[in-house]
Amino acid sequence: MQNPAEELFIRHQDILNNAIKAIHAREFYAQYPEAPSGKIYGEDANEKQQTLFQNQLGKEFCGLLQESDAVITSSEVSPYTLEKLNIEYPVSKQPETYVTRAGKALSQWKQTSAAVRAGLLIESLERIRNRFYEIAYATMHTTGQSFMMSFQASGPHSNDRALEAIALGYQELTRFPGEVTWDKPMGKFNVVLKKFYKTIPKGVSLSIGCSTFPVWNTVPGLYASLMTGNPVIVKPHPGSVYPIAIVVAEIQQLLKEHGLDVHIVQLATDTLEKPITKILCEHPEVKLIDFTGGNAFGDYVESLPGKVSFTEKAGVNSVILDSFSDLKGAMQNLAFSVSLYSGQMCTCPQNIYIPKSGVTVNGETLSYEHIISELCAAIDALTGHEKAGPGTLGAIQNPTTASRIQQAVDTGAKVHLASRAISNPEFPNARIATPVVLEVSKNNKNIYEREWFGPIVMVIPTDSTDESIALAKELSLSHGAITCAAYCTNPEIEEKIATEMADAYTTVSFNLTGPIWVNQSAGFSDFHVTGGNPAGNASFTNPEFVLKRFVLVGMRSC
């Protein structure tokens, strides 16, 4: 009789097979629909889970099963109410304890078959889907994302990215047979050997979360490491703990139900005042590190000896404007892209390159000034809309991000569109600011060659589209980029943009005018970050993202 864990693999085998098929096809696929629909996720799920969220505030988070000897109050503050969440999380006083417990759990987890791991991990996703609304409210009130973005990004989209990591990990773990009979003819006799192949995990894995996308950016590495047999310590950003705590709690509960060590995954919460991240990073038993965040700490992670790192850092994303067939649609699309979540996305456009001689729209040349005015008008119309504005902008997660707007203005750049505060009727205290649009000379690279995280747009006049391409490529190679948008109706110029930016290891989205934006990255189809330029050394989710987490070892026997 099969044990319950093996039965999970059978139960979820269709989900796994469909995910593997989708990884190869690269066509649209979503196991978890993105709409917060009662028909899909339960008619009363929203109301019930909003109550769960509200009841959690000011109390200890009791869902975790890991051992602890203390509790701490998180640094979480809602960008909508500007009030502390005051949630307490169980912790270990000595950070090294997390590593010790993970090391003990490693033996059991690495001996668990790939099939059982896959079944357990997919089951965890199926349980997490039952908490999508609670996760959404937790994300909303720690990151400042709108409710819709919070639901989609931390719920269905994160689950799909996690499933992608599981599927790719399972495929690579089972690519080769576990054992074979090797029979080599030698003339009058044969040499026969039994050959065995084992996949051995690298060791304890550390996943360092970010404040703006605490689930979406964490689960690919979390599930890739778990799938390949590595226990994981999840070190969330002190300002965004609650959303990923739910994910860890669901995995731990499942592990317990199946007689496995709950310390196969642990949550290691700290505070802004007393961080523990470097202690964990530098522990000799930590072999794998996933990191999302700023360049300084990302460079530190990459420099650590004896570690395999998977980083997503800051980049300078460009927009190249050459020619249009639908100027209005393009400007509306760009306005949404730079306004979405107040520019607090690693994929958000920042530098917009426009030839001083103007651009063509259906063969007619429109001036540089005209294009800027169209862009500013589109941003103004979107952010000033009573309903669409607050929902698009969300709220600014960190006061430092809000202050960065004035810092950008203080560079002396010409202001084409000033940032302004707008109100959200539902949350009158919300920290909200519309994008500022600045013009920066191409010679002032010290201004526009860095990432200005937040609602900050920089327009750079160039001598030609060729110069726009060259500047965008140069910045991608020297400072990193995750995305690039381009508007061009000339096939030859489009091909040049694609070739030059590909050489800078940067993906390009051409001529977007509808409800798809350069900010978006689709699971099972888009590779998020290429790993080829300074914006990060890894990609969600290519084979290397899972292959570097285990070693294939061969044995031979007569």
**pLDDT above 70 for 245:** yes
Which of 399, 470, 395, 460 lies closest to 434, judged by CA? 395
pLDDT tens-digit readout, 399-439 = 999 999 999 999 999 999 999 999 999 999 999 999 999 99
pLDDT tens-digit readout, 181-212 = 999 999 999 999 999 999 999 999 999 999 99
Token readout for 333 is 């699309």
Q: What is the mean pLDDT of the segment spanning 489-506?
A: 98
Token readout for 84 is 């502390």
Q: What is the mean pLDDT of the segment spanning 528-542?
A: 96
| CATH architecture of residue range(s) 318-510 | 3-Layer(aba) Sandwich (3.40)
pLDDT at residue 290, as a whole number: 98
The band of 3, judged by pLDDT with boundaries at 50, 70 and 90, is: confident
Residue 284: other Cβ atoms inside 10 A: 11
What are the two backbone dihedrals, phi and then psi, of residue 185, each rounded to the nearest 5 degrees?
Answer: -65, 135
- DSSP string of 171-218? HHHTSS-SEEEEEEE-SSSEEEEEEEEEEEE--EEEEE--SS-TTTTT
**Contact (CB, 8 A) for 450 and 315:** no
Q: What is the mean pLDDT of the segment spanning 353-374?
A: 96
Q: What is the mean pLDDT of the segment spanning 522-545?
A: 96
Give Cβ neighbours of residue 130 (< 8 Å, ≥ 6 apart).
Answer: 41, 42, 45
Cα–Cα distance measured from residue 326 to residue 137, given in angstroms and rounded to the nearest whole number:
37
What are the two backbone dihedrals, phi and then psi, of residue 364, each rounded to the nearest 5 degrees?
Answer: -95, 135
Q: In what order do the strands lie in the sheet with 359-361?
A: 323-324, 359-361, 364-366
pTM across the whole model: 0.96
pLDDT at residue 6, as a whole number: 85
**Contact (CB, 8 A) for 154 and 134:** no
Token readout for 221 is 């590495």
**Contact (CB, 8 A) for 546 and 220:** no
The band of 1, judged by pLDDT with boundaries at 50, 70 and 90, is: very low
Q: In percent, how much of the chain has pLDDT > 90?
A: 98
Cα–Cα distance measured from residue 340 to residue 348, given in angstroms and rounded to the nearest whole number:
8
User: Which CA distances in Å does 213 have to 131, 188, 242, 247, 341?
Assistant: 17, 65, 12, 14, 11
Q: What is the maximum span of the chain, computed from C-alpha positions, in angstroms? A: 89
Residue 131, CA atoms < 13 Å, CB-side half-sphere: 24
The band of 343, judged by pLDDT with boundaries at 50, 70 and 90, is: very high
Three-state SS annotation for 118-163: HHHHHHHHHHHHHHHHHHHHHHHHHHCCCHHHHHHHHCHHHHHHHH
pLDDT tens-digit readout, 67-108 = 999 999 999 999 999 999 999 999 999 999 999 999 999 999
pLDDT at residue 408, as a whole number: 97
Q: In what order do the strands lie in the sheet with 286-292?
A: 265-267, 232-235, 204-208, 286-292, 308-312
Tell me whether strands 364-366 and 359-361 are parallel, antiparallel or unpaired: antiparallel
Q: What is the mean pLDDT of the segment spanning 506-529?
A: 96
Domain ranges in the chain are 4-313+540-557, 318-510
Residue 39: other Cβ atoms inside 10 A: 8
User: Which CA distances in Å does 10 have to 118, 119, 251, 316?
Assistant: 10, 7, 19, 45
Cα–Cα distance measured from residue 66 to residue 111, given in angstroms and rounded to the nearest whole number:
21
Token readout for 81 is 């109410």
Give Cβ neighbours of residue 452 (< 8 Å, ≥ 6 apart).
Answer: 350, 404, 408, 458
DSSP class of residue 458 equals E
Burial degree of 174 (CB within 10 A; 0-12, 13-18, 19+): middle
pLDDT at residue 2, as a whole number: 62
Cα–Cα distance measured from residue 278 to residue 255, given in angstroms and rounded to the nearest whole number:
28
Tell me whether strands 351-355 and 364-366 are parallel, antiparallel or unpaired: unpaired
User: What CATH class does 4-313+540-557 carry?
Assistant: alpha beta
**pLDDT above 50 for 7:** yes
Cα–Cα distance measured from residue 264 to residue 66, given in angstroms and rounded to the nearest whole number:
9
Token readout for 161 is 């990215």
**Contact (CB, 8 A) for 249 and 63:** yes
Cα–Cα distance measured from residue 40 to residue 133, given in angstroms and rounded to the nearest whole number:
12
Average pLDDT, the chain: 97
- 318-510: same fold as 4-313+540-557? no
Cα–Cα distance measured from residue 3 to residue 207, given in angstroms and rounded to the nearest whole number:
30
**Contact (CB, 8 A) for 80 and 430:** yes
Q: What is the dihedral of CA 480, 519, 154, 102, to 10 degrees?
A: -20
| H-helix or E-strand spanning residue 280 | helix 277-281
Q: What is the mean pLDDT of the segment spanning 258-286?
A: 97
